[in-house]
Amino acid sequence: MGLNGPAIVDNAIDLEGEGQLSSLFSHAPQSVGFNKLRKRLLRQVRQALDDFQMLKGQKRWLIGVSGGKDSYSLLAILMDLKWRGLLPVELIACNLDQGQPNFPKHVLPDYLRSIGVEHRIEYRDTYSIVKEKVPEGATYCSLCSRLRRGNLYRIAREEGCNALVLGHHREDILETFFMNFFHGGRLAGMPAKLLNDEGNLFVLRPLAYCAEDDLSRFAAAMEFPIIPCDLCGSQDGLQRNAMKAMLADIETRMPGRKDAMLRALAHVNASHLLDTRLFDFAALAAGPNP
């Protein structure tokens, strides 16, 4: 079973004839191990698309591509599904060049052209804004993310897209949940499907069920031209890093706990929590004693 319904089986995905998929998988390993990994990721993405009805009313998606392993993997998996007739939406890849020093501007345009995907490269110097606004020693991630997201929303509208599609995976969702739990005093994670505040654009996360380790192995095998983030990646002591280390330790000592935690986020029992807005405790009434 999937988190919210019947599981989509691996056997539904045939890897025969993959050479027809432009040049995306032309240098991919032909090993049994890689094929199993690829099929597992395809199945998990299809499961998320189905569980959260991500395709309902959708015609065109803007895929955020940062140059990291997750967004490269997201794009490759979506292109794979589209080629197989399992993703009936148009795809346009987009990279937001945020003006980080030494950012290799040629890498993403060259790669996106090589795999034959429609794309747009947008330049906005949000790096200078973040450096100016954030005090020395504080973390850049929050402001950087807000500025990036705002620009991607705008670009999605300009390109006639119904949704902005992002590469957040299982660990991202769990880390966000525990950051809110420990530091924000609330039970909230990172939804797989979200409608923006204006109500005119979806944010979708098809990798919600995918493990970060699987995506790392997939990206390495595919030899994606990874671009490191020198803005936030150079900072130490981030809360998210602490959550990542905690979850990794739990998984090492008790294998399978990450999947169990993710399932828990899909099975909420409001009457067993303490939020009076979600459950009407005042309406509880006991019947007469027998």
Residues contributing to the annotated binding site for [4Fe-4S] cluster: 141, 144, 232
Residues sharing a CB contact under 8 Å with residue 192, sequence separation 6 or more, in sequence order: 48, 51, 52, 54, 173, 204, 205, 206, 208
Distance CA 195, CA 161 (A): 13
Task: Report the DSSP pairing between strands 90-97 and 163-165.
Answer: unpaired
Label residue 280 exposed, middle or buried (CB < 10 Å: 0-12, 13-18, 19+): exposed
Q: Binding site: what residues are annotated?
A: 141, 144, 232
- Which tokens sit at 180? 């809110």
Element (H or E) spanning 43, and its range? helix 32-51
